[in-house]
Amino acid sequence: MNPLLEVQGLIKYYPVGSRFSAQRRTLRAVDGIDLTVQPGETLGLVGESGCGKSTTVRLIMRLLEPTAGRILFDGQDMSSMSSAQLKVVRRRMQIVFQDPFASLNPRKTAGRIIADPLAIHRIGSAAERRSRVQDLLERVGLDRTHAERYPHEFSGGQRQRISIARALACSPQLIVADEPVSALDVSIQAQVLNLLQELQRDLALTMIFISHDLSVVQYVSDRIAVMYLGKIVELGPSQAIYYHPQHPYTRSLLSAIPLPDPTRREAIPPLESELPSPMNVPSGCRFHPRCPLATERCRHESPELRPVGTTLVACHNV
C-alpha cells in the first residue's frame, strides 16, 4: 500500500537574536525527520515538551514553511502545489489543537464553529450544513441542541469534542491531534481518547497523535515515533516501543510508568536534567550528555536510525 503521507529530510530552523547582533544564532526545532504514515493507521509522536512535535505537524499541515525537506501527501509533493491544489489538500488533512479554550472562537455558537470549514470550502447548502452539523454533534457524543450554545457553556471535554467535530466536518483523510487530551482532567482524558479511537476505526481515518506522555500515545497508536531534540530516535510498533524499548531515552521515559511485565528490559532511571536548548544541540549523539550508557564514540558520532528487532533505533550502544 502506498503511504498517505511521506516526510523526507524535514528541517525547520529559526534564526534567533537581533538581525544586527553578532549573537545571532540558529534554533534547530526540527532537524531532519523521515516518516511515513500508512492509510488507516495511527502514528504516535512522543517526546518531552520542546522537542519539536508541534513544529513537525505544523510543517506537515503546511501551516509553516520548512527550511528543507519534502512532504508528499498521497504521493504528491506539497511544495510544488499551486494554491488551488493546496486548498484541496488542506481539506483532506485537519488538526485538533491542545487547548480547547483557545482554539474555539468564543463569539460563535458550536454550530457555526463546526459549519465553518464547510462554508469555507463551499460544501452543501445552508440547510445541508445544518443537518451535517447535527450529525457531527451526535457523532462526537454531544446533543443536536448543543449547536445553539456558545463555547463557554461547555466543559473542557465537550469543547474538545466540538474541535473534533469541526475537524471531521469536511470528511478528511488525515487527522492530526496535537496533545488533544493534555489540557483535560485525567478523568475526562480516557473518554476523549476512546472517542478518537472509535472515529478512527469507523471512518477509516489516518491519524497522527501527539503527546508528551508515552502511556497516552501507546493507548491509541499502531506505531510510535520517539522524538528527541528535533530528531526521531526510535520508531516502531506501539507494543514493541512500550514493552521492549531499545533506545536509552525511550527506556527513561518508560521508567516513570509502572508495568507488571517481567520480560521488560532493565529500566533506566527517569531523566532529571533538563532538555538541552535546540539553540545549542550537543555534538555527536544529541542525547549523550543525559545518557547513562554514553561512551566516547557518542560524543563525536551522530547515530543513524537502524533496525534492531522490530524497531528502528538511533543509538551506538544497543
Binding site residues, ligand ADP, CB under 6 A: 14, 16, 27, 29, 47, 49-55, 278
Residue 212: all three cell numbers together: 508528551
Min dist CB 187 to ligand ADP, Å, is 24
Q: Return the CA Rg of the chain.
A: 21
Of the pair 13, 243, the CB lying nearest ligand ADP is at: 13
Min dist CB 112 to ligand ADP, Å, is 29
Contact between 8 and 72 under an 8 Å Cβ cutoff? The reply is yes
Is 189 near Mg ion (CB under 5 A)? no
User: Which residues make Cβ contacts (< 8 Å) with residue 13, sequence separation at least 6?
Assistant: 26, 27, 28, 29, 67
Of the pair 42, 54, the CB lying nearest ligand ADP is at: 54
Of the pair 147, 181, the CB lying nearest ligand ADP is at: 181
Of the pair 16, 259, the CB lying nearest ligand ADP is at: 16
Contact between 196 and 184 under an 8 Å Cβ cutoff? The reply is no
Angle value at C-alpha 22, between 18 and 25, nearest 5 degrees: 65
Partner interacting with residue 94 (select from ligand ADP, Mg ion, none; CB below 5-8 Å by kind): none
Cα torsion 153, 158, 162, 165 to 10°: value is: -150
Partner interacting with residue 244 (select from Mg ion, ligand ADP, none; CB below 5-8 Å by kind): none
Torsion angles phi and psi, residue 63, rounded to 5: -80, -15
Partner interacting with residue 276 (select from ligand ADP, Mg ion, none; CB below 5-8 Å by kind): none
Give the separation between CA 26 and CA 178, rounded to whole angstroms: 25
Min dist CB 133 to ligand ADP, Å, is 31
Give the footprint of Mg ion on this chain (CB under 5 A): 54
